[in-house]
Structure 1
């Protein structure tokens, strides 16, 4: 995580420095974006696997909720502050400030005093490709993780599909100002803050399995409000839809993240998290491209309908899975679903260490 922070800080700082030296090129920007994006994936995967090292099992849900609250809250503040920062400091000054935030994050990480044991290499896992295959095999065979990942990938595909055209939809089709667009888009992040705050309480009240399915069943249909948006009071439809979707996505991230951390054997957690994130990141890219292509081919509002109509039904992927039938999701892998050979594990089946 520290290395990823330092790479990102260097890449962000390199852009304004190259600009001052009159050496900034489009290739430089592509390389910086690729390096920062790759670092973010490694950082998020490592962070997910690191949380169980720091927190006891009974504190995982609350800890994950706090992480998601801070993430959603700073996303709100960051997006609203970006324009003012660019005005006050200039674009280059804003990028240098962004680089500084990675250094602040590094100082925070260095302040963690808990010693993490270096994971041993598992029997039969002789290389990176083999280890990745072990994680993918575990994920594809598990009756709980597999449908959850399919749901997350499908949801991301459709969310990115409408988000790829939502600004154009609001500006050109609805005719709102740039400032209003920022406020409307921010509603999703505000919903994310509320969802992260509610997640632990809902899990205690309903059970984590039921909380996951019910919140998604309630939130997903609100996507249908987005293409119904009209000028004036009709903007409340977009704000409401984005807000409730944000609540649902955030609750789902907290519940799924905590479940995966508790459920996976410790030596497989990083690999399973990586496989899950790779799948979700892949559909994000596809969804963004799909939204742009559809917007050009059939128009913006029809694209919003084409994408949000199936989004409203995606919760059925969870409801019809084993997760949809359980009040509480299991705390460890069942030996009847996995064994040491299929998971590539040297430890006994079902071994787990407590842990978006």
Structure 2
């Protein structure tokens, strides 16, 4: 009998803490680049560099972080990461009030915040199977993905509104407070157990453990396809999102609230995709749901670059963005559940870190590409490049064994996976 995740106190604690954390993250997502554009007169290349630094930590420490998380108690990791993020974001409004805020400080804050986020994301995805059991993963992941989507809608809308009414540095102060509240909430979670000892014959060296996680992901054709599709999707998403503040504020002269609302449309798409993931998978099969939805939604990515003014083009672009994010919402619920079910407990941290390194590394690359193209050519050319990546992102899953999978792997698959990694 499958127990609902909502009946598990620790899952409810993690979920409510994540509400606070997501709210802060999404307010900061809007406020930080707007500080750079409006208060510090950043160029498209500098905005791209800011977005790159916010995610490059996954490339720098993502893989070893997974091995470290597999050795640590997850509750401590989550609390420490949230406290670090609260302190970093609190430094921004403080420096602004003192008249000492610089672009260099913003670069340092987003880079170090990215390092803390590496540990928080890997830790939260790794602790989830221990809290709800593997049979409850789809329902739990749907709830978490829905939360992220609602955070995108509420947080980014609130971020745009706070920037417009109270200025961007004040909005960043709300980000700091949200992460602090999340850390305090996580103290109510029961102490997570010590990590399991390494299996007999397995090396305890950091490099060997990191390599074991990488082999587990890229040696499995289904996990490899899921990783590549998600990376391409993130690449396109980041290229588009990096240039949106420049397009809205500088080129079209729209208020910050309009940018927040546009991003909120994407959050609504994520929410719809997350809520539809389970019923669609039950009807079509897990693999067919991923493949067919990807195929049908592919053209939507090419609608986003049609955003050329604040008239009809805005509505066309918003529709394309909504559909693209709908696919992302479904992919996240079904793809994360699939990879968690295919991975033994002893490898969860390293598997998640390998995915996060590739996926968030794609965000860093996308931001750098966006800044370069935006600086050398035009903002709209940059949007077309991002839309093209959106359109082809479904192909690795569609052309892989994932497309024929009807059910999630059974428990005995865990033993098979353990024996070959």
Instruction: Find the counterpart in structure 2 of residue 205 from structure 1.
Output: 283
Q: Secondary structure at the match of 1:118?
A: coil
Superposition deviation, residue 162 in structure 1:
2.5
Q: 1:280 to 1:333 in 2, by over 3 A?
A: farther
Aligned equivalents of 1:105, 1:314: Cα separation in 2: 33
Aligned equivalents of 2:110, 2:295: Cα separation in 1: 36
Q: Secondary structure at the match of 1:177?
A: coil
Q: Find the partner of 2:293 among 193, 199, 215.
A: 215
Task: Kindly indicate whether residue 336 of structure 2 is the aligned counterpart of residue 245 of structure 1.
Answer: no
Instruction: Find the counterpart in structure 2 of residue 99 from structure 1.
Output: 176
Q: Secondary structure at the match of 1:113?
A: coil
Superposition deviation, residue 203 in structure 1:
1.9
> 1:66-77 residue pairs with structure 2 within 5 A?
66-77=143-154
**Structure 2 regions of 5+ residues with no counterpart?**
1-77
Superposition deviation, residue 79 in structure 1:
1.7
Equivalences, count: 341
Task: Kindly indicate whether residue 228 of structure 2 is the aligned counterpart of residue 150 of structure 1.
Answer: yes
Q: 1:211 to 1:121 in 2, by over 3 A?
A: same
Instruction: Find the counterpart in structure 2 of residue 11 from structure 1.
Output: 88
For residues 251-272 of structure 1, the C-alpha deviation after alignment (integer angstroms, 9 at most, x for no partner) is 1011111111111011001101
Q: Secondary structure at the match of 2:407?
A: coil
Superposition deviation, residue 282 in structure 1:
1.3
Q: 1:170 to 1:331 in 2, by over 3 A?
A: farther
> 1:1-356 residue pairs with structure 2 within 5 A?
1-19=78-96, 26-86=103-163, 91-113=168-190, 115-122=192-199, 123-169=201-247, 175=252, 177-178=254-255, 179-231=257-309, 232-331=311-410, 340=419, 342-343=420-421
Aligned equivalents of 1:164, 1:217: Cα separation in 2: 25
Aligned equivalents of 2:165, 2:308: Cα separation in 1: 34
Superposition deviation, residue 72 in structure 1:
1.5
- Quick check: which one's helix share is greater? 2
For residues 158-206 of structure 1, the C-alpha deviation after alignment (integer angstroms, 9 at most, x for no partner) is 2222323344445677x46234343223211111111111112222222
User: 2:156 touches 2:261 (CA, 8 Å); kept in 1?
Assistant: no
User: 1:143 touches 1:337 (CA, 8 Å); kept in 2?
Assistant: no
Superposition deviation, residue 51 in structure 1:
0.6
For residues 263-295 of structure 1, the C-alpha deviation after alignment (integer angstroms, 9 at most, x for no partner) is 101100110110111011111111122123223
Aligned equivalents of 2:235, 2:167: Cα separation in 1: 34
Superposition deviation, residue 152 in structure 1:
1.2
Aligned equivalents of 1:57, 1:336: Cα separation in 2: 14
For residues 28-62 of structure 1, the C-alpha deviation after alignment (integer angstroms, 9 at most, x for no partner) is 44332222111111101110011111113332111
Q: 1:334 to 1:113 in 2, by over 3 A?
A: closer
User: 1:209 touches 1:327 (CA, 8 Å); kept in 2?
Assistant: yes
Q: 1:273 to 1:225 in 2, by over 3 A?
A: same
For residues 83-119 of structure 1, the C-alpha deviation after alignment (integer angstroms, 9 at most, x for no partner) is 4434665555433332221222123222223743422
Aligned equivalents of 1:211, 1:135: Cα separation in 2: 27
Q: Secondary structure at the match of 2:198?
A: coil
For residues 116-161 of structure 1, the C-alpha deviation after alignment (integer angstroms, 9 at most, x for no partner) is 3422234433222221111011111112101111111122122222
Aligned equivalents of 1:119, 1:214: Cα separation in 2: 39
Normalized against structure 1, the TM-score is what? 0.86
Instruction: Find the counterpart in structure 2 of residue 354 from structure 1.
Output: none
Normalized against structure 2, the TM-score is what? 0.73
Aligned equivalents of 1:130, 1:23: Cα separation in 2: 45
Q: 1:187 to 1:84 in 2, by over 3 A?
A: closer
